[in-house]
Structure 1
Amino acid sequence: MGRNILIRKLILASVITSFILSGYAFSFINVFKLGTSANYESVITVFIRTLLISGINIWTFLRFTGHSEKKNQVLRLVVGFLLCIGLFMLTEPLAHRFYSHEKIPWQLSSAIPSILLQSLMQFPIISSIHEIVILEHEKTKARIENSLLKQSQLESANQLLRQQIHPHFLFNALSMMKSLYKKDVHAGEAYLTHLVSFMRASLTDSQHQVARLKDEVKLCEDYIIMQKIRFDNALHCQVSIPEAVQQSGAVPGFSLQSLIENAIKHNEATEYAPLRITVEYHDGWLTIENNLQLKPQLDTPSRKGLKNLIERYQLLSGDPVPMHQENGLFTVQIKVLPYEDYHHRR
């Protein structure tokens, strides 16, 4: 399919080049007043020759494909130029018959300089135009392949994140639910209700690379309530995002939830020193901020979740994920993407 498209492009370029060179020939004859009788004959000859030389170029392109690109290019140019000379030698007697009004017989020996000169003038122009068309086609093909590879990488990253979240989260959630049922049946039932809601939302449209911000916020609300049941007054989490932004915006799936989970995982939370997490919207960005109360027994955070999120944004939109740590606060910012531009991607 790709080669057929390239051949059509080469044919179109050949026709356009034929008209342009014919126009130049017509203008040249008129400017230098070489006579009117030869005008139409010369224009037609240039047009036909250009088409034939273009055909030779396309044939050499199809013929020489089994070597390296550089060798193929050299073979195309050498063989194409030799065939071009042969073409002029075959057509020159006819051109002489059209142009010449004198009874001078055509001789190959006297026509060789003219044949070489015309070949050196026309062939480089046509072959250069064809090489430009081929180069542009290869660039377009490479861009498409890179886009498909980027898409595949993004899908793999998306699936990898989900695979990381579900087993880890389910293990902790089930352990917590077992503990709650021993202490407080009502709390256990409430936890189970939000766990079911969370899992249902997380499995919905799992193939999409982004989630509508409203759905992501709902997912976070279920997650936050579950954590509030677990930590009670030791955890304070506030999400402030305008409704209009929630409807029109999108973020990579699980991005908000993973950032909130990351804050809870790496920080201590007690009633005397509660963990405070805020999610706010400002000028197209979500700011997720928490007070730093790092757990002393925890090893240096690997921040795999943050690295994963950075890579997903890089593949998806190219936007950065700024992170700051100062004045006892840790802050992460993520770009709100337009939902209509991204929700169809899988």
Structure 2
Amino acid sequence: MINMNNLTHWQVKLSFLYTILIAFIIWEGNRYLHFSLRSYFNWYNKPFRKIAAVLIAISFYTVPVSVLLLLGWYSLFENGRANRQAIVITTLIIMICVVFIAHVYETVFLVKESENEMLRNEQLERAKAEAELETLKSRIDPHFIFNSLNTLSHLIEEKPARAKLFNDHLADVYRYILQHKERELVLLGDEVHFLHAYFSLLRIRFENAVQLRSAIDESQYEAWLIPPISLQLLAENAIKHNEFSDSNPLVIDVQQNGESLIVSNGLHKKDLRKASSRTGLSNLNERYKLIAGKEITVTTTADFFTVQLPLLKMI
């Protein structure tokens, strides 16, 4: 189409520079259009409108600019003898290249935007989960203190000597809660030791009317993790909902079965003024779902109430 033999050495060099200028102007112009259109059209909400807008914009920019710049080339290097067929073919080639590059450009942008959107959603979900978890944790402390103060008040009235002993043990138990309630997981051994410490409080008040049977191999204490204050909550739940006495004690069994901890007690339901909301178990289940993506299993039969807690392997 273009006869380079008619051009001098310097004209050939200048013509190549002019060609680079054409490419630069078309590239920068279309790039500006792409960035401008992004503020008006969204791939996720209106994809077809975005495609139509991009095609129309680059066509109305690329075609006339290409024709004008090509005419300029002929004016500079061919003394204005324009070759219409060459201009049409060259403009068509430029248009095809621009559309292809625009497609690649938008695809890369869309993939990157999708990844960023997924990352933002994950961060939002994580922040939401952490906020929910903190809310659940904050319920542990007031609930325990409320029950403990009720017990202490009862002992002061009926058994003052035991009230002082209860108060001393309460300080040790509450120290554990303060140290571990902000953590998501603790060693199984720490939680079992805390359960025994909590039972020392129960024995002060109820004496032999409550009993704990733990059948967990001590070699497993540092091999598994569990959300803190889980076992204490189950023991407290059993005390709250069952009748018991020295002659008919409440026995709480704790044993490990593979990757689960089984906590069970005999069922002697107490007549409550209002039905239980089971907030404690719901709280524990929500903590498990947020921390480990697992749920507890509650089984009730005519004689037993059993809760299965998933254990998390220590890495």
Fold in common (TM above 0.5)? yes
Give the counterpart letter for 1:111 in structure 2. I
Partner of 1:152: 127
Which residue does 2:57 correspond to in 1? Answer: 79
1:228-259 per-position Cα deviation (integer Å, ceiling 9, x unaligned): 22222222223333444432432223222222
Alignment-mate amino acid for residue 56 of structure 2: V
Distance in 1, matches of 2:73 and 2:281, equals 73
**Which stretch has the larger CA shift, 320-329 or 57-66?**
57-66
Question: Who is 1:292 aligned against?
Answer: 267
Is the 8 Å Cα contact of residues 180 and 188 (structure 1) preserved in structure 2? yes
Contact 2:133/2:290, CA 8 A, preserved across alignment: no
The residue that corresponds to 1:59 in the other structure is 32
Compared CA separation, residues 203 and 221, structure 1 to 2 (3 A)? same
Cα separation, partners in 2 of 1:76 and 1:296, compared to 1, 3 Å: same
Q: d(CA) in 2 for partners of 1:57 and 1:198?
A: 69
Q: How far 1:89 sits from its partner (Å)?
A: 4.5
Deviations 1:186-212 (A, max 9, x none): 533432232111111111154333333
Contact 1:150 1:315 survives alignment (8 Å): no
Name which of structure 1's ranges 277-286 and 234-243 shifts more when overlaid on structure 2: 234-243
Residue 13 of structure 2: aligned partner? none
Aligned pairs, number:
291
Quote how far apart the aligned CAs of 1:94 are.
11
SS at 1:280 equivalent: strand
Tell me the distance in 2 between the aligned counterparts of 1:215 and 1:202.
11
Output aligned runs, 1:88-237, within 5 Å.
89=67, 107-116=83-92, 119-120=95-96, 122-184=97-159, 187-237=162-212
> Do 1:66 and 1:72's aligned partners in 2 also have CA atoms closer than 8 Å?
no
TM-score by length of 1: 0.68
Equivalent of 1:247, from 210, 213, 222? Answer: 222
Amino acid at match of 1:151: R
CA distance in 2, matches of 1:280, 1:95: 88
Structure of higher RCO (CA pairs closer than 8 Å, 6+ residues apart): 1
Contact persistence 2:209–2:249 (CA under 8 A): yes
User: What displacement does 1:339 show?
Assistant: 5.0
The answer on whether the counterparts of 1:213 and 1:249 sit within 8 Å (CA) in structure 2 is yes
Whether the aligned pair in 2 keeps the contact of 1:211 and 1:250 (CA below 8 Å) is yes
| Alignment-derived partner of residue 250 in structure 2 | 275
Q: Offset at 1:287?
A: 1.9
- From 273, 296, 299, give the equivalent of 1:321: 296
CA distance 1:304–1:179, change in 2 (3 Å): closer
State the secondary structure of the residue aligned to 2:233. helix
Structure 2 residue 242 is the aligned partner of structure 1 residue 264: no
Structure 1 residue 185: Cα displacement = 5.2
Q: Could you tell me how far apart the structure 2 residues matched to 1:314 and 1:72 are?
A: 41
Quote the Cα distance in structure 2 between the aligned partners of 1:150 and 1:163: 20
Unaligned stretches of 5+ residues in structure 2: 1-18, 75-80
